[in-house]
């Protein structure tokens, strides 16, 4: 069984999708990767969901990736003594380190690092920007502000500081505990929230030590300023448009989304577009036309994957949301203009052997009636470099590492196959590649396939071999 499309689907599991029947239905509808959102749920619940995913994986005989999404630092105001308050534009309002419940004139903000990073005229956003404050004066334990946009606030609402690089780590003590727990379960990808600098990614990689791949979620303006360095540091990137859309003007988000996708495609790093893609399907069996266009635009840009959040985690129509996303992707990829757009947005490969081989793969597939590209890979590198070229035929990623096969489930156009046989020489490799291409229904007897690998066999990162074979 293989998908009849290139872009992948990430589906978040939650209360609406936590049983075996529903998870299997989501996979059958098109989900390639399942996200466990550690902002919600207990360790026991996430462990149960992961065990269900692995059972589905065994039942269907296909590698399925599990993405652990860390909560990250959550900046929130404290409590209010007498319930919600309404702030009027132009009014004075203080935030401070005093834990005493607030009132109409002040509220606790128990995050010293925010006050340490403030400047006059810094904006503070409360409750996803519904209330906007401008700093008039500040000290190490307070900020006196003027209300720019009024509104009602209540206990524990979130705070954003869009124009400031906050001196806070990307990982909290909760994140560290969640990460260690997830690694013991065997998750395949770890998503790091609120990345601001490449050092945030390096820190997580030091902890992970190769036990999972690391995906950086870009949701802070500071991250966009260090985009190239963060893309270089991470194994994949997510365009997390929720907080990004709060901290930046809404009209800038589409441009920045495209900027991030272009940067990832140029370097061959997988990129996921996420947040509010089919938001109305939380409560409706069909999306709005604007939402369908949103998903389609991400696919036209060449994103590796698109993601569902609450639509599949807590909505009323999780299977329908995945099936809708699957149909949108298939419709886009059947459009002749889609291939033209993908080719037009392609950037030159790097001047190294692996990219020369993979560029030749793509050109061979354009020139000859090739049914599939087969890559032998231990680390996934050869498959990633082949996918970077966005070839016109599927990439069958053969690997002896099950962890690698699962991680490749996120990557555009790659159909990962766990092949546990050792390869003795080139004829043996070609024979096995032909057998897998035929067995996975990508090629028939008499078709051409193109095989790429590294020699000597089994050494990661040595892509240097290309062979054209007839099945």
Active site members: 35, 76, 217, 275
Q: Residue 423 gets which letter from DSSP?
A: P
Following DSSP, what letter does each residue of 169-212 receive, concatenated?
Answer: -S--HHHHHHHHHHHHHT-SEEEEPS--SHHHHHHHHHHHTTSS
Q: Give the C-alpha distances (Å, rounded to integers) separating 326 from 31, 89, 119, 252.
A: 8, 45, 47, 27
| Cβ partners under 8 Å of residue 2, min gap 6 | 394, 415, 440, 441, 442
Q: How many CB atoms lie within 10 A of CB 122?
A: 18
Q: What are the phi and psi torsion angles at 376 (to 5°)?
A: -90, 125
CB 41 within 8 A of CB 339: no
Residue 41, C-beta contacts closer than 8 angstroms, at least 6 positions apart = 14
Distance from the first to the final alpha carbon of the chain? 19
CA distance 449 to 372: 5
399 within 8 A of 453, measured Cβ to Cβ:
no
Distances (CA, A) of 177 to 52, 170, 198, 256: 22, 14, 22, 32
CA separation for the pair 217, 264 (Å, rounded): 13
Closest CA to 320 of 361, 349, 291: 291
Which residue, chain included where needed, has tokens 């209360």?
15
Closest by Cα among 225, 293, 292 to 263: 225
The torsion angles phi and psi of 216, rounded to 5 degrees, stand at -95, 125
């Amino acid at each position: 069984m293989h998908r009849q499309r290139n872009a992948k689907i990430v589906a978040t599991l939650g209360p609406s999708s936590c049983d075996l029947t529903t998870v299997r239905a989501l996979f059958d509808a098109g989900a390639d990767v399942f996200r466990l959102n550690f902002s919600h749920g207990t360790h026991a619940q996430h462990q149960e969901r992961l065990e269900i995913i692995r059972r589905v994986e065994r039942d269907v005989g296909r590698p399925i990736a599990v993405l652990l999404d860390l909560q990250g630092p959550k900046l929130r105001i404290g409590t209010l003594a007498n319930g919600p308050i309404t702030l009027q534009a132009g009014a004075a309002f203080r935030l401070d380190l005093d834990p005493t419940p607030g009132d109409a004139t002040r509220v606790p903000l128990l995050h010293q690092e925010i006050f340490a990073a403030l400047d006059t005229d810094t904006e503070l956003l409360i409750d996803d920007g519904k209330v906007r404050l401008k700093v008039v004066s500040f000290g190490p334990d307070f900020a006196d502000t003027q209300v720019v946009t009024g509104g009602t606030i209540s206990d524990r609402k979130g705070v954003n500081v869009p124009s400031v690089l906050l001196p806070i780590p990307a990982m909290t003590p909760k994140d560290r505990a969640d990460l260690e727990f997830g690694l013991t379960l065997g998750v395949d990808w770890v998503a790091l929230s609120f990345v601001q600098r490449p050092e945030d990614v390096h820190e997580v990689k030091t902890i992970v030590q190769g036990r999972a791949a690391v995906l950086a979620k870009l949701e802070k303006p500071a991250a966009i300023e260090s985009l190239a360095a963060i893309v270089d540091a991470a194994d994949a990137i997510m365009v997390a448009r929720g907080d990004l859309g709060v901290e930046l003007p809404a009209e800038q988000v589409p441009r920045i989304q495209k900027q991030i996708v272009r940067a990832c495609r140029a370097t061959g790093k997988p990129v996921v577009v996420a947040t509010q893609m089919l938001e109305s399907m939380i409560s409706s069996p069909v999306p709005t036309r604007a939402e369908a266009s949103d998903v389609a635009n991400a696919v036209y840009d060449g994103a590796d994957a698109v993601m569902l959040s609450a639509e599949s985690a807590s909505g009323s129509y999780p299977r329908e949301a995945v099936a809708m996303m699957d149909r949108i992707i298939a419709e886009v990829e059947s459009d002749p203009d889609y291939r033209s757009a993908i080719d037009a947005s392609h950037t030159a490969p790097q001047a190294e052997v692996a990219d020369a081989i993979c560029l030749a793969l793509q050109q061979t597939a354009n020139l000859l009636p090739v049914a599939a590209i087969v890559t032998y890979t231990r680390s996934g590198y050869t498959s990633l470099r082949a996918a970077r070229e966005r070839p016109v035929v599927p990439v069958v990623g053969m690997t002896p590492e099950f962890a690698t096969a699962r991680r490749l489930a996120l990557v555009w156009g790659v159909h990962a196959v766990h092949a546990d046989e050792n390869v003795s020489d080139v004829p043996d490799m070609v024979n096995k590649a032909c057998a897998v291409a035929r067995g996975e229904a990508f090629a028939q007897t008499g078709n051409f396939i193109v095989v790429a690998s590294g020699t000597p066999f089994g050494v990661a990162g040595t892509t240097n071999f290309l062979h054209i074979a007839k099945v």
